[in-house]
Amino acid sequence: MNSRSHFPLSGPHVVVFAMFPGIDALDVTGPAEVFAMTNLVLGAGRPGPGRGYEVHLAGERRGPVETSAGVRLHVEELFSEQGTIDTLVVPGRIRIGADGPEPHVDPAVVAWLREAGPDAGRVASVCVGAQVTAAAGLLDGHRATTHWATAERFAADHPAVEVDPDPIFVRSGRMWTSAGITSSMDLALALVAEDHGDEVALEVARIMVMYLQRPGGQSQFSVPLAHPAGSRDDLRELRRWIGEHLDADLSVPALAARMSMSERHFARVFRAETGSTPGAYVERMRLEAARRLLERTSRLAPDIARACGFGSVESLHRVFRDRLDTSPGEYRSRFRTAA
């Protein structure tokens, strides 16, 4: 992440946020704070090309734009007035509908992205902003992520995009996408690291009390939350315990005994509470833990298989083949992130 190909040799790096009514406030203010802090760090004597970041808020019309938080952000520039854009940021707007979280796709932003997106140095979408970017055709043929709760719909709506619901952010060429809401700041830090190197990004992260690279992926949130919370405290506690003891015996007999239930009754109650069989739930937890270790560490397959409770490398390979249509080695070679 030390390439500086997107940073101008002189003058500021122009960052333009595509604004629209109802936008999620943190999708804009989070990255803007990271860029502002980077300017302070660079101004304190740190090396770096250019003179820092220059942030612009552009919209279909000038004036205040009310965010989902009720806070108004002021747009002073029109889409049509934008010149050279080094980084084009596409925030999102996530709504809670009858079927859960759903993205809002603003037609004015989509139309402008079709014009400005191909000429921007890089395009970075935040949360469900990925659906807006995809609607403009900019993510076709690219790997991308989005908020875990809308990933399935994203993949169905845009089959030309390779959707991975787990990473906090994904880079695919000049296209960047990030996960849910607060990950906008993780994305911005990654952009800073690419432009100025890890040392500057690390100093910014320290000042802002952030991880330079957040441990784990969205799966740390999505596995438990993808299933209903249920009404039983004892089963919620069991699910938490499962996540912390993936290398234990998590068979139905063992889990039923832990709950002081018969196997049949336990299986029926677990499915009623979670919508999943115990075996399927445990396998998914183990698979996503293995994915995180392959992405974030150099641990060998036998060690990962033991740590995640697969028991053998053969079992690890079988689950990856059945669930992801790939092998652990191929997965690591494609999705490994820098330590």
The DSSP code sequence of 113-140 is HHHHGGGSSEEEE-TTHHHHHHHTTTTT
Vertex 338, ends 334 and 339: CA angle to 5°? 130
pLDDT for 169 equals 85
**What region, left, alpha or beta, does residue 261 occupy, with left being phi > 0 and alpha being psi -120 to 50 degrees?**
beta
What is the layout of strands, in order, in the sheet containing 175-178? 77-78, 53-59, 13-18, 87-90, 122-125, 175-178, 169-172
Give the residue with greater pLDDT, 175 vs 43: 175
The mean pLDDT value for 80-109 works out to: 90
Confidence class of residue 273 from pLDDT cuts 50, 70 and 90? confident
Indicate the average pLDDT of the chain. 85
Question: Which among 28-37, 216-225, 271-280 has the top mean pLDDT?
Answer: 28-37
pLDDT for 10 equals 61
Helix (H, G, I), strand (E, B) or coil at 9: coil
Confidence class of residue 206 from pLDDT cuts 50, 70 and 90? confident
Residue 21 has pLDDT above 70, yes or no: yes
pLDDT for 125 equals 96
pTM for this one?
0.65
Residue 114 has pLDDT above 70, yes or no: yes
pLDDT for 193 equals 86
pLDDT for 332 equals 83
Burial label for 133, CB within 10 Å (0-12, 13-18, 19+), is buried
pLDDT for 62 equals 96
Which residue ranges form the domains of the chain, and what is each CATH number?
13-207 (3.40.50.880), 227-335 (1.10.10.60)
